[in-house]
Amino acid sequence: MKNIFRIMIAATVLAGCSVSKPHYESVDDYPVKSGSVQEVKYSPTATRFSLWSPNADSVRLSIYASAEAVEPECTQWLKRQKDGSWQGTMRGDMQGKYYSFRVWDPRMQYEPEETPGIFATAVGVNGRRGAIIDMRSTDPEWWSNDCRPAMDKVADAIIYELHHRDYSIDPSSGVQHRGKFLALTEHGTVSPEGLATGIDHLKQLGVTHVQILPSYDYGSIDETRLHDNRYNWGYDPINYNVPEGSYSTDPYDPTSRIREFKQMVQALHKAGIRVILDVVYNHTYDVAHSNFTQTVPRYFYRTREDGSLGNASGCGNETASERPMMQQFMLESVRWWVEEYHIDGFRFDLMAIHDISTMNAIRAMLDEIDPTILLYGEGWAAETPQLEEALRPIKANIAAMPGIGAFSDELRDALRGPFYDDHQGAFLAGLPGHEQSIRFGIVGAIEHPQVDMTKVNYSNRPWALQPTQLISYVSCHDDMMLTDRLRASVKPADSKKSVIGDDELMRLDMLAQTVVLTSQGLPFLWNGEELMRDKKGVHNSYCSPDSINAIDWHLKARNQRLCDYYAGLIALRKAHPAFRLGDAELVREHLEFIDSADGVVAFCLKDHAGGDAWRNIVVIANANRESVKVSLPDDESYTAVVANGQVNTDGLYKCEKTAVVAAQSAMILHN
């Protein structure tokens, strides 16, 4: 402690401040940095540094030859500016050097440590030091020609959530760069049975977007020990504006993670697939060592009245988006990913921890760049945030955030059962009482005269202005795989058996995703559901080994029928605008529910909805263990295009006046 005190005095003298330090009663009095939050501006003749830290007594910049060097090559005391930032310049070409800051601030409750600042754009191994590079040197060939795949409107999106390691780490993926960004650049990869894997599998499925699990630099994988083959989802951010090193081929080379990430985006774009980033601005890996704390202690986190840290993330802290510099940080970070990495959408983890005006500011900024850039998130938090409810971007407040979507736990849980009990089933288990919640999901959480809100599970009023604000899904990385969940929650008809058989499992999987893919919300699928993958019943696999998380691509040959069914439904949705009207008025005008028995949800998209070539489209989901008869609208003759696990848009067979829907299956017909 004594040593630190001596250093602090020395530092104050050496800094030679041209501006004296004002007194700040609290962090809320801090001035806002003028210009960019980014700390480093490189040019071949000089590199300029600018770190925002208003209450610091001194800030020292150190330059290193490598990310792990013990001693710096040189240091410089930065100069305080009126806007609370500290500036300095290093002359000459600094490309290839590493840097860190050390901040002495009386509000710091921890040891001052090296930090690359809050907005490093390149880092060394494990992200502890920043790297000075020319960002243009990281661009793959033809990067300036890379462009977003065409998309007319947001309602056209079909999202596939994917974890880099899940997707390609198993040798059965046939991929060379297994578990890496580059895995998604390899064409022609096949499973041992010769079926497409990797990026070709995505093309085959026909999804329009991939949502990649956290891919910024996170803390839980030691990048110096990749041979340990550790797994993590990555919800533990370190550097928000740099790709994660363990997904690169060389985490020691600061340019490789950046270039390879861009190559991945470029390859997906060429394949016609847009890329959504999962962003976790709501908390950091830890507090004492975080770049936020080490740069401006206490500013970026919310505290309770007693001074202790808020914990809405359930991870020990929550950030404070309502503070101007945190908001500016988030805006600039999102812009960085769009402009530097050509990202096409954002999924906000625990979005409800942030505040409505920050989310709206991000939407407004994205609208100026391209209104089809997707923005949605989780409309809930792990614990109650330290911010009044009216300001929070919770699901119930989505109407105050046009153009921003939220995941629908109403639809998810009405299908598979509640999040709090893996062994409790719902619609898919053949239990009655979930039909209205499913209707709510099908219309996209908007007001609709045929949705009885008194019978909807979690919401007592519609929360979306437009149907595209609802993310329609039955499973994601959280919780059990659909297969595991159905095994845990659906009682077998044969009382001698403990779990349902694979045949029934596949039927229910198809039924669930038919509801998801015919919802007026944005459909969302979790990687491997189309292969009937399981996670051996593990519910929270965030750090489980590959043996739990990796996709075994042998499954594709085994469950080809299921995979074809997903692809068939996706093609059907893409070919028929009635399924993606994108407008609440149109949905109310054209989507009519058909009265049906318990365990059945049926609706008609009538009168060439959305300009559809088909006049009426009828969708029927039957979760009962017996077939059901449903009277078809206007007593007319219809052509079945989806029935009993088959999809054929040319038509499977004709139905006169009534449709007989097989047990635990969905049917789609048109006339």
Q: Does 509 bind Ca ion (CB under 5 A)?
A: no
**Which one, 245 or 523, has the nearer CB to Ca ion?**
245
Nearest approach in angstroms of CB 290 to Ca ion is: 13
Q: Active-site residue 598, yes or no?
A: no
Nearest approach in angstroms of CB 406 to Ca ion is: 29
Q: Of the candidates 4, 6, 115, 105, which has an alpha carbon nearest to the alpha carbon of residue 58? A: 105
**Which one, 59 or 279, has the nearer CB to Ca ion?**
279
Given the rule CB under 5 A, which of 88-96, 217-225, 318-326, 346-354 is the region that contacts Ca ion? Answer: 217-225
Nearest approach in angstroms of CB 238 to Ca ion is: 6
**Which one, 281 or 638, has the nearer CB to Ca ion?**
281
CA distances from 205 to 155, 179, 271, 562, 563 (A): 18, 20, 12, 11, 8
Instruction: Report the residue closest to Ca ion, judged by CB.
Output: 217
Residue 352, SS3 per DSSP: helix
Q: Which residues pair with 637 in a beta bridge?
A: 656
Nearest approach in angstroms of CB 164 to Ca ion is: 13
Residue 407, SS3 per DSSP: strand
- CA quadruple 640, 592, 578, 395: dihedral sign: negative
**Assigned token pair, 419:** 């999040």
Catalytic entry in 105, 378, 422, 435: 378
Given the rule CB under 5 A, which of 100-108, 212-220, 549-557, 623-631 is the region that contacts Ca ion? Answer: 212-220
DSSP string, 582-645: --HHHHHHHEEEE---TTEEEEEE-SSGGG-SSS-EEEEEE-SSS-EEEEPGGG-EEEEEEETT
CB–CB of 242/215 below 8 Å?
no
Q: Distance from first CA to last CA of the chain, Å, rounded?
A: 80
| 502-517 helix and 409-416 helix, angle to the nearest 10 degrees | 160
**Which one, 198 or 245, has the nearer CB to Ca ion?**
245
Using CA atoms, how far apart are residues 287 and 319, in angstroms rounded to an integer? 10
Using CA atoms, how far apart are residues 227 and 34, in angstroms rounded to an integer? 44
Nearest-5° angle of CA 663, CA 668, CA 670?
Answer: 140
Catalytic entry in 57, 166, 349, 410: 349
Nearest approach in angstroms of CB 115 to Ca ion is: 15
**Which one, 281 or 473, has the nearer CB to Ca ion?**
281
Nearest approach in angstroms of CB 126 to Ca ion is: 6
**Which one, 245 or 379, has the nearer CB to Ca ion?**
245
Given the rule CB under 5 A, which of 38-46, 214-222, 292-300, 310-318 is the region that contacts Ca ion? Answer: 214-222
Helix (H), strand (E), coil (C) string for 69-120: CCCCCEEEECEECCCCEEEEEEECCCCCCEEEEEEECCCCCCCCCCECCCCC
Residue 580, SS3 per DSSP: helix
CB–CB of 114/63 below 8 Å?
no
Residues 6 or more apart whose CB falls under 8 angstroms from that of 4 comprise 111, 112
Q: How many CB atoms lie within 10 A of CB 499?
A: 13
**Which one, 245 or 462, has the nearer CB to Ca ion?**
245
**Which one, 221 or 517, has the nearer CB to Ca ion?**
221
Q: Active-site residue 349, yes or no?
A: yes
Nearest approach in angstroms of CB 491 to Ca ion is: 44
**Which one, 115 or 191, has the nearer CB to Ca ion?**
115
State phi, psi for 481 to the nearest 5 degrees. Answer: -65, 155
Q: Of the candidates 326, 317, 311, which has an alpha carbon nearest to the alpha carbon of residue 284? A: 317
Nearest-5° angle of CA 74, CA 80, CA 85?
Answer: 95
Q: Does 217 bind Ca ion (CB under 5 A)?
A: yes
**Assigned token pair, 502:** 């694979």
- Amino acid in position 459: S
CB–CB of 233/162 below 8 Å?
no
Q: Which of residues 220-259 bind Ca ion (CB under 5 A)?
A: 245
Nearest approach in angstroms of CB 259 to Ca ion is: 17
**Which one, 57 or 217, has the nearer CB to Ca ion?**
217
The site for Ca ion, by CB under 5 A, has a size of 2
Nearest approach in angstroms of CB 244 to Ca ion is: 5
Q: How many CB atoms lie within 10 A of CB 111?
A: 10
Nearest approach in angstroms of CB 351 to Ca ion is: 23
**Assigned token pair, 250:** 């060389």
Active site amino acids: 349, 378
Binding positions for Ca ion, rule: CB under 5 A: 217, 245
